[in-house]
Amino acid sequence: MVVVGGGFGGATAAKTLRLLDDTIRVTLIEPKARYITCPGSNWLFAGLTDLSQLSVDYRQLQQRHGIDIVNDSVAAIERERRQVVLSSGSTLAYDRLILAPGIAMRWDAIEGYDAAAAERFPHAWQAGPQTVLLAEQLKAMRPGGSLLMVVPADPYRCPPGPYERASMMAYWLKQHNPRGKIIILDHKRSFSKQALFEAGWKQYYGYGAASSLIEWHCLADNPVLRFDANAKTVVTDFGDRFSGDVVNIIPPQTASALALNSGLADASGWCPVEALTSLSRFDPAIHVIGDAAQFAPIPKSAFAANSEAKACAMAVAALLAGREPAAPTWLNTCYSLVAPEHGISVAGVYALDEQQAVAAVKGAGGVSGDLSVEALRLESKFAGSAYRRLIDNCFS
Amino acid sequence: MKVAWGLLLCLASETLVAESPSAEAIALNCLTCHAETGATHDGAIPGLTRFDQRELRQMLLDFKYGNRAATLMPRLVKGYSDDELAAVARLLAER
């Protein structure tokens, strides 16, 4: 078995395969020696964490679970030969491949916002140096300045992420730049945990008042088409112009370039799969999991990638043993911090329906119900605790 | 034959699932957040080893039927049948 991608999905798939059957030889291909997690990275904007606390490595997967770690990137998948070609030039054959390659930014979506522009105006949607740069830009913003955040339409990685980011930035502004402002330009009409975020924003950040630290504008019918870097201005379809002292554009996304180049994505840019086995609709030997795969209505989250990886590993172990794959179950839980002591969550339980498609189990899941101070404080603690457990469960 | 299909539909209607997931499949997801240790402190997600099978099963059912308050668990366990919860309690207690 070869697993490509050492994020939450790939790491969990490799580990779970070994836990289910330690006779399965598993190789995990990941170019980075250390992985910086997107979950938790918004907390950096409020000064609650730093990159070293968000970093994990692969030593435990190697030492405790006997997974072969190959520090290289995949240049191509030769599907007919069932082998991957590494950037170093060597090849690796597989019986089955689990692909967990994550996302790519769509640089064609907003004219003027490309990979080069993102070095100066970070999206910070793949945690790392860009996250630190964006935090520095926020902290250097002039008194009373504004930060523009452009948020894409669904689907994209981490649906509640932009709003937690705005919360954490507003928390910092409240203490250090109280006349500053976060202006969210959203390509959706509504967003994840909206009522809970807005109630929290009202409580802490003056949301709804003219002096609010956060403003939210829906641009679903008037999308951002162009970015003028020199003017730090975005221009919409109707010609409206929005300027900021700091600009954080989160572009629309697709599955990673490797998935696209290997012919595993459809016109949507994401990889369709048979939910029961997570097998690609385009290749009977390749399973696709995590953000790159279409598991809607399961959101693209690290927690969901972990759950998809477990279901995938169980299906693969069954297929390798010549058994029928059993019914999967998937969970998702996403915590967001509105303030350091104010956490909210959304959860979902998913199963196959009669058409063998993924469906949310009715009556289960939903957002935080108890909005007492004590419950919200407890959920903020659970946010940190669930993060550390998730890291542990995926990487050690 | 008609009776058998009726029974199947009846079983499926509770969760709209064609087939029940195994206790192992469910348990793997419990262990994402809940460690297989007993250690706990304020704000930590409780570990599982300090509970026996009967306690685990009762807790899961109490979450499901509103007899025990918690921030998250009631939302998750409502996704599973009582039999599935009993099976996962047994498996987790055995580990």
pLDDT in tens, A134-171: 999 999 999 999 999 999 999 999 999 999 999 999 99
pLDDT in tens, A292-342: 999 999 999 999 999 999 999 999 999 999 999 999 999 999 999 999 999
Chain A CB contacts of B29 under 8 Å are 307, 310, 329-331
Query: How would residue B4 be classed by pLDDT, with cut points 50, 70 and 90?
Result: very low
Residue A368 burial (C-beta neighbours within 10 Å; 0-12, 13-18, 19+): buried
B10 has a chain A CB within 8 A of its CB = no
* Mean predicted confidence (pLDDT) in A359-376: 96
A353-363 as b/e: b if 16+ CB within 10 A:
beeeebbbbee
ipTM computed for the complex: 0.94
Q: Which of A170, A166, A224, A222 is nearest to A192 (CA)?
A: A166
* Mean predicted confidence (pLDDT) in A180-204: 98
Q: β-pairing, A146-151 with A181-186?
A: parallel
Scanning the structure block, which residue is given the tokens 């959101």? Answer: A299
Which residues, at least 6 apart from B34, have a Cβ–Cβ distance to it below 8 Å? A389, B45, B46, B47, B48
Chain A and chain B share a number of CB contacts under 8 A equal to 119
The pTM assigned to this predicted structure is: 0.94
Interface contact A351-B17, CB threshold 8 A? yes
* pLDDT score at B38: 61
H-helix or E-strand spanning residue A271: strand A271-274
Task: Calculate how close chain B gets to A352, using CA atoms only, in Å.
Answer: 6
B29 has a chain A CB within 8 A of its CB = yes
pLDDT in tens, A234-252: 999 999 999 999 999 999 9
What span, in angstroms and rounded, lies between the C-alpha atoms of B93 and B95?
Answer: 6
pLDDT in tens, B23-36: 999 999 999 999 87
Query: How would residue B1 be classed by pLDDT, with cut points 50, 70 and 90?
Result: very low
Task: Calculate how close chain B gets to A297, using CA atoms only, in Å.
Answer: 15
A345 has a chain B CB within 8 A of its CB = yes
